[in-house]
């Protein structure tokens, strides 16, 4: 007959080994998650710099800075705020996701004649040319209904 101490040891270790696959799965999820959606430091982002796009006589301009801030103009609208960029390595269409948090909006109408909300947070998907001097901006990761190309300004 087993002593009570041996029985407790068997129960504890048996319980631990039954939970081991769950613990391992959670640990692996933490290891893999940065690979699937790697957020770039703003200073490493290919979106850095000044960009412009003109259509129907109206110009959109964007400036993305190393400190994670941006400013933009579109028609009479002027905005500024913060941005983050993530790499989407498994997406065959758009390879980057940008999220902008608008901190200030002057309330002017943009090039699409829409008045925008200054508290708005928006997410777009970016498709760069091979030389990274042009980019298309898309509302979804399937890279359909994009606008651009935005041209990198010197």
Q: Identify whether residues 2 and 22 lie together within a single domain.
A: yes
Nearest C-alpha neighbor of 96 from the set 136, 127, 134: 127
Work out the end-to-end distance of the chain between its first and last CA atoms, rounded to an integer number of angstroms. Answer: 84
Same domain flag for 60 and 26: no
Please tell me whether residues 31 and 67 are part of one structural domain: no
Same-domain check for residues 29 and 82: no
Q: How much is the pLDDT for 59?
A: 96
Q: How many domains does the chain have?
A: 2
21 and 74 together in one domain: no
The pLDDT assigned to 44 comes to: 82
Residues 71 and 92 occupy one common structural domain = yes
Same domain, residue pair 28 and 44:
no
Nearest-10 Cα torsion for 153, 72, 95, 85: 120
CA distances from 129 to 23, 47, 94, 137, 152 (A): 42, 12, 11, 12, 11
Whether 61 and 78 have beta carbons less than 8 Å apart is answered as: no
Tell whether pTM > 0.75: no
**CATH number of the domain within which 122 lies:** 2.40.128
Beta bridge partners of 61: 52, 73
The pLDDT assigned to 19 comes to 53
Same structural domain, 92 and 124:
yes
Determine the pLDDT at residue 38. 74
Determine the Cα–Cα distance for residues 59 and 44; give it in Å rounded to an integer: 26
Give the per-residue pLDDT at 8. Answer: 47
**Residue 76 belongs to domain spanning:** 38-153
Statement to judge: residues 49 and 118 lie in one domain: yes
Residue 91 and residue 131 in one domain = yes
The whole-angstrom separation of Cα 144 and Cα 140 is 7
Both 99 and 26 in one domain: the answer is: no
Print pLDDT tens along the chain (154 aa).
555 554 544 444 555 445 544 444 444 444 444 444 577 777 788 999 999 999 999 999 999 999 999 999 999 999 999 999 999 988 888 999 999 999 999 988 889 876 655 558 999 999 999 999 999 999 999 999 999 999 999 8
Q: Are residues 55 and 128 in the same domain?
A: yes
């Amino acid at each position: 007959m087993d002593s009570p101490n041996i029985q407790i040891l068997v129960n504890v270790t048996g319980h631990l080994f039954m939970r081991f696959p769950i613990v391992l799965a959670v640990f692996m999820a933490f290891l893999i998650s940065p690979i699937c959606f790697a957020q770039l430091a703003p200073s490493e982002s290919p979106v850095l710099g000044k960009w412009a796009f003109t259509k129907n006589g109206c110009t959109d301009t964007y400036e993305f800075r190393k400190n994670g801030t941006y400013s933009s103009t579109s028609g009479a609208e002027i905005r500024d705020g913060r941005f983050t960029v993530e790499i989407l390595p498994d997406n065959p269409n758009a390879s980057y996701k940008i999220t902008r948090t608008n901190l200030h909006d002057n309330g002017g109408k943009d090039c699409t004649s829409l008045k925008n909300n200054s508290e708005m947070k928006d997410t777009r998907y970016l498709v760069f040319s091979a030389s990274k001097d042009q980019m298309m901006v898309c509302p979804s990761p399937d890279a359909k209904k994009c606008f651009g190309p935005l041209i990198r300004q010197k």
